[in-house]
Amino acid sequence: MAMLQVLLNQVKGPLPLKGTFQCRSSDIIDAIVTGVSYRKTGTPNGPAGVNLVITDSTGNTIGEATGRVEGSAIGGWRSMISQWGQMKLNAGETYNFEVRAAFPEVDSSSDNFFTATLVY
């Protein structure tokens, strides 16, 4: 039976969104972040998106999952295409997570909702 750990469940922006969690397993786990993204008005056409970054207590990046979408689409915010990220953590240890803009041009607001989940 799969076990899930929810880091964020429809939490409003703006980005970044940060927190901590205690890992429940030393097996390989997978992470996903979903939500919407868009580029700031006046910036060149290009991708938008966010990164879910997992770091340990020393600040080293242990794992990452991403979401991407066209950043200048007509009508603004678009749901991202999410890429699962795989990582190996240690059971019982506390880790940091952050959902952050993937590019400097990415906009975010309190109208955006993000969900981040770990699958053991």
Partner 1 sequence: MDIQEIFSQQLTSLPFSTKFTMRSSAGAVLYVAASLTPQSKAGPVGLIVKIDGKQVANPKAFSNEIGSARPLVADLQPIASDFEEHTLTLESANSEGIAGPWDFGAATIFYLGMVDPFIWRFSGALPQSKTFQSRITGDGVLFVAASAFTPKTQMAAIEVLLDGQPVAKTHMKPGIANSHFTFPPLFLPIKLTAKAHTIGLAASAGVATDQNDTFEVAIIY
Footprint of partner 1 (CB under 8 A): 1-4, 6, 9-10, 30, 32, 34-36, 45-47, 66, 68-84, 86, 111-115, 117, 119-120
Report how far residue 82's alpha carbon sits from residue 78's, in angstroms, rounded to the nearest whole number. 12
In contact, 108 and 15? CB cutoff 8 Å: yes
Q: Which is nearer to partner 1, 57 or 81 (CB)?
A: 81
The CB-of-117 to partner 1 minimum distance in angstroms stands at 5
Chain mean position to CA 103:
13
Nearest alpha-carbon partner for 25 in 1, 3, 50: 3
With contact defined as beta carbons under 8 Å apart, do 14 and 108 qualify?
yes
Toward partner 1, which CB reaches closer, 93 or 111?
Answer: 111
Which CB atom, from 21 or from 120, has the smaller least distance to partner 1?
A: 120
Q: How far is the CB of 67 from partner 1 (least distance, A)?
A: 8
